[in-house]
A and B are shown apart, each in its own frame.
Chain A
Amino acid sequence: MPTISGPRTTARALAAIFQKGIKHYIRYPGNFLLIFAMPFMFTVMIFGMGQFVGGSDASLNFAARTGTSNVLVYEILGSAVWMISWVVVEDVGVALRDEQMKGTLEQNFLAPVSRLTLLIGLSLTDVVITTIVFFGVAGVTIIVTMPAAFLTLIQAFLVLLVGLIPLFGIGFLFAGFVVRFKEPYMFTQIVNLLFATLTGTYYPVTLLPYWVQLLSGALPQTYVIEDMRRIVLANQTLVSLYGSIFILLALALAYPTFGYVVFRRLEKRASVTGEFSKY
């Protein structure tokens, strides 16, 4: 009997893709733990190097440049967003490459499920994972060092949720490149490194040359990191940041649309050249 596509079957497919993604994380607990550990490890490295360079005045110098002496929270917020960005880009983009290498990509593409459903299913997994990462990394750090900051933490999380949507769009873009060009790992490493450099992960973007700041302005992570720092460390509210929230919403519209269009184009090309089954 032929299968009939409709809202119910699409929802089932989404649930199945979501469940597969979650199981993948549960069955590779080492990788999952690493996602939690890396933000702290990078922060310790920066802090250590900073202590060496600044000596006894290191924290004062930091406060003079950033407006806060809370080095840990400042760096952890940037680190957490960087890690979340890395997870999303890899999970949506590289996941397809993994499937290609295992030989299951063709099986996925053979099924009567739209590509959009496939990509959204992958993204849904990441909503859960990034939430866990955010609260596990940034949340724990903030609650421990600033116990009265629970409400600000929730506001910061809301900023992240809005910022995730354009990130998924970037992930769709990657997915297309991966299916077509087949070498994602170095590609994602460079792009994630560029994101970290451009979006103020460990420093304010104002430190960068003006023309580079224009590039930073096109990336959602820049606004997410900056807004989170203002909410948590400078006691600003979500409402007062309406300008950058508006920009984030605009990016939330632009990136997924653009990313999906590019993905479909590259996928079509891949089906002409027979890339799906190539290892």
Chain B
Amino acid sequence: MSQVNSRNTSSIPRLLEEFKAAFLKDLRSYVRYPAWMVGEFISTPLWFFFFALGVTLFAPTSANTPQEGGLTFFFFGFIFIILFSTGVWGIGQSVRNEQMGGTLEQFFLAPASRVTLIIGRWARIFLTDGLIIGYTTLLLYVVGGGLVTLYDPALFAFSLGLYELGLIGFGLLFAGLTMRIKSYNTISNIVFFGYMILTGALFPISVIPIPIRYLSMAIPFTYFNDLVRHAALATPTILPEALEYVIASLLSIGMVLVGFVAFKKIEEEARVRGSLATI
């Protein structure tokens, strides 16, 4: 048989190859579950319209739909839900799914960077999420006449970048936790609902009673949501704008570091316990 030349593991091209392999693998698997693909494209706008109708009951009686500003506020809420679910189910639970499917050991056997492989997966989800959000925006425009505009596109991109960085860190932490605790379904749902209710995703935290509001202000995603919305809709920020951006930047970098360290530690512990393959 022919000889094989493997290259040095620490070079940038190597990491890019790993990233590309993980991205393509995930994209192919996704496309080959057409039910999932179609399901996501159908269910996403459906969730939005379903909740929007429920909220209509509370709107002023002269309005047949929630106020336009309210509608755009919710729309961003749903964008946040889509993006956040990446961290919980896209990255976090996917590692657990690999464990149950038997391929996690293969993942850990390879001399490839764990983080690159996970980021490769995140990139695929970011791409498909982007398509879903774009399609839902179009649908909203066609059906409801609503048009989502961006107040400051550059600031929006920066704010979204902070959000995604924090999300990757959270995803790594969550992936480690689900590998360790194994009952991912319950934890995933609790975390997800906590996000929806406490972080200003669907309604401003000013609606939340004061003692619970302090809890909201301790969650990094509260600031990420707030800044993305501020950059898109010119809504006021929770804290002074500059201060909030500094805090959010530090939080997003911190989350990546914490997530990475936690994932490594849990992986090490799984090796000691011999539980990498345990379902």
Residues of A within 8 A of B (CB): 28, 30-31, 33-34, 37-38, 41, 44-46, 48-54, 57-59, 61-62, 64-66, 75, 181, 183, 186-187, 189-190, 193-194, 196-197, 201-203, 207-208
User: A52 contacts B204, CB within 8 Å?
Assistant: yes
Contact present for B193 and A38 (CB under 8 Å) = yes
Given contacts A31-B186, A51-B58, A187-B39, 9 further A-B contacts (CB under 8 A): A38-B193, A45-B202, A48-B207, A49-B202, A61-B61, A190-B39, A197-B49, A202-B53, A207-B57
- Known A61-B58, A190-B46: A52·B70 in contact at CB below 8 Å: yes
CB<8 Å pairs between A and B, sample of 16: A30-B183, A30-B187, A33-B186, A34-B189, A38-B189, A45-B51, A48-B203, A49-B74, A53-B67, A54-B58, A54-B59, A58-B58, A65-B61, A75-B54, A186-B43, A196-B50
CB proximity to A under 8 Å, residues B205-225: 207-208
Nearest CB in chain A to that of B186: its residue: A30
Interface membership of B73, Cβ < 8 A: yes
Chain A contacts of B54 at CB under 8 A? Answer: 46, 49-50, 75, 201-203
Q: Are A186 and B40 in contact (CB under 8 A)?
A: yes
CB-CB nearest in chain A for B187:
A30
A49 close to B193 (CB less than 8 A): no
B51 — which chain A residues lie within 8 A by C-beta? 45-46, 49, 202
Cβ of A37: which chain B residues have Cβ within 8 Å of it?
Answer: 189-190, 193
Looking at chain B's contact residues, is the secondary structure mostly helix, strand, loop, or mixed?
A: helix
B-chain residues with CB within 8 Å of residue A52 when the two chains form the complex = 70, 73, 203-204, 207
Cβ contact within 8 Å between A44 and B55? no
A197 in complex: contacting residue of B39, B46, B186, B193, CB < 8 Å: B46
B57 touches A48 (CB 8 A): no
Bound CA span A56–B35, Å = 43
Query: Within the complex, which residue of B77, B190, B197 is in contact with A34, where a contact is CB–CB below 8 Å?
Result: B190
How many Cβ-Cβ contacts under 8 Å join chain A to chain B? 123
**B204, A66: Cβ atoms under 8 Å?**
no
Set of chain B residues within 8 Å of A28, measured between Cβ atoms:
183
The answer to whether A45 touches B66 (Cβ under 8 A) is no
Chain B residue with the shortest CB-CB distance to A28 = B183
The reply on B111 being an interface residue by CB < 8 A is no
**Nearest residue, chain B, Cβ from A198:** B50
Asked, given contacts A30-B183, A34-B186, A53-B67, whether A45 binds B53 with beta carbons under 8 Å apart, the answer is no
- Say yes or no for B240: interface residue by CB 8 A criterion: no
Asked if B185 is at the interface of the complex by the 8 Å CB criterion, the answer is yes
Neighbouring A residues of B66 by C-beta, 8 Å: 53
A222 and B208 CA atoms in complex are apart in Å by 32
Known contacts A30-B186, A41-B197; A49 and B55 CB within 8 A of each other: yes
Docked pose: A144 CA to B185 CA in angstroms: 30
